[in-house]
């Protein structure tokens, strides 16, 4: 019997829970990130937002604890149901996903340049763990140009970032970048 036929004809006794990991540094979280979380809620039963510690050369403005707290406040503000959980992680994403019994990673794609990087990462992850798949989601076009790096630059130059991040993120960025009114 063809191995592909047996996979598709396999009967399950209970419906499986569809789980996904949405990893990122979220430094800071943006409306684009929140849009992807809403999209995931339509497709998955459980979404684990995996906040990455900075173990590579990527410097973060906020500590991992601050980023987790800021994200949790976003989820409270947006009335996201309890199907969404925020957890910090370090190390290889595929190892973390396997330790959480999650076999799907979701990544947002804003532009072709994102796709090139994310495609390479997805193939590398698959090479390290064949049971983990990556799916790509495109955010709403009104968020497709937003990046955390760009928002930090705009804020540092005293620009208005209210269209890109929730109010508490804007306040946290202003304080962190030393722009608070005296």
pTM of the model: 0.85
- How far is residue 178's CA from residue 160's CA, in Å, rounded to a whole number? 15
Per annotation, catalytic residue among 18, 19, 38, 110: 110
Query: Sorting pLDDT into bands at 50, 70 and 90, what band is 55?
Result: low
Full set of structural domains in the chain with CATH: 17-144 (3.40.50.620)
pLDDT value at residue 182: 44
Mean of the per-residue pLDDT values for the chain? 87
Q: Which residue has the higher pLDDT, 1 or 38?
A: 38
Q: What is the pLDDT of residues 73-128, one digit of tens each?
A: 998 766 666 789 999 999 999 999 999 999 999 999 988 888 989 999 999 999 99
Q: Which residue has the higher pLDDT, 36 or 58?
A: 36
Cα–Cα separations (whole angstroms), residue 24 to 3, 39, 95, 149, 178:
35, 16, 15, 13, 25
Is 110 one of the annotated active-site residues of the chain? Answer: yes
Is 148 one of the annotated active-site residues of the chain? Answer: yes
Cα–Cα separations (whole angstroms), residue 111 to 23, 123, 147, 165:
18, 18, 11, 20
pLDDT value at residue 16: 75
Per annotation, catalytic residue among 107, 148, 152, 170: 148
pLDDT value at residue 92: 94
Q: What is the pLDDT of residues 25-51, one digit of tens each?
A: 999 999 999 999 999 999 999 999 999
- How far is residue 135's CA from residue 151's CA, in Å, rounded to a whole number? 26
Token couple for 17? 């829970």
Structure-token match 């943006």, residue found: 30
Q: What number of other Cβ atoms are within 10 A of residue 150's Cβ?
A: 13
pLDDT value at residue 166: 96
- How far is residue 49's CA from residue 88's CA, in Å, rounded to a whole number? 8
Nearest one of 156, 159, 142 to 32, comparing CA atoms: 142
The mean pLDDT value for 9-16 works out to: 58
Cα–Cα separations (whole angstroms), residue 55 to 64, 82, 91:
11, 29, 8
Which backbone phi and psi does 4 adopt, to 5 degrees? -70, -35
Which strands sit side by side in the sheet containing 84-89, from one edge to the other?
84-89, 46-52, 19-24, 104-108, 133-137
Q: Is there a contact between 174 and 151 (Cβ–Cβ < 8 Å)?
A: no
Per annotation, catalytic residue among 4, 10, 11, 57: 57
Per annotation, catalytic residue among 33, 39, 67, 107: 33
Handedness of CA 20, 3, 119, 144 (dihedral sign): negative
pLDDT value at residue 112: 82
């Amino acid at each position: 019997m063809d191995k592909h036929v047996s996979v598709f004809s396999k009967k399950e006794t209970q419906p499986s829970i569809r789980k996904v990991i949405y990893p990122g540094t979220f430094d800071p979280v943006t409306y684009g990130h929140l849009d992807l979380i809403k999209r995931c809620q339509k497709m998955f039963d459980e979404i684990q937002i995996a906040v990455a510690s900075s173990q590579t050369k990527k410097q973060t403005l906020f500590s991992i604890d601050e980023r987790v707290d800021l994200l949790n406040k976003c989820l409270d503000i947006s009335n996201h149901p309890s199907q969404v959980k925020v957890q910090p992680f370090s190390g290889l994403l595929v190892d973390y996903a396997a330790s959480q019994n999650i076999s799907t990673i979701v990544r947002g794609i804003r532009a072709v340049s994102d796709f090139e990087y994310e495609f390479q990462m997805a193939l590398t992850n698959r090479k390290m763990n064949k049971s983990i798949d990556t799916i790509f989601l495109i955010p709403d076009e009104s968020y497709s140009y937003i990046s955390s790096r760009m928002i930090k630059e705009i804020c540092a130059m005293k620009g208005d970032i209210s269209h890109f991040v929730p109010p508490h993120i804007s306040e946290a960025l202003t304080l962190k970048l030393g722009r608070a009114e005296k």
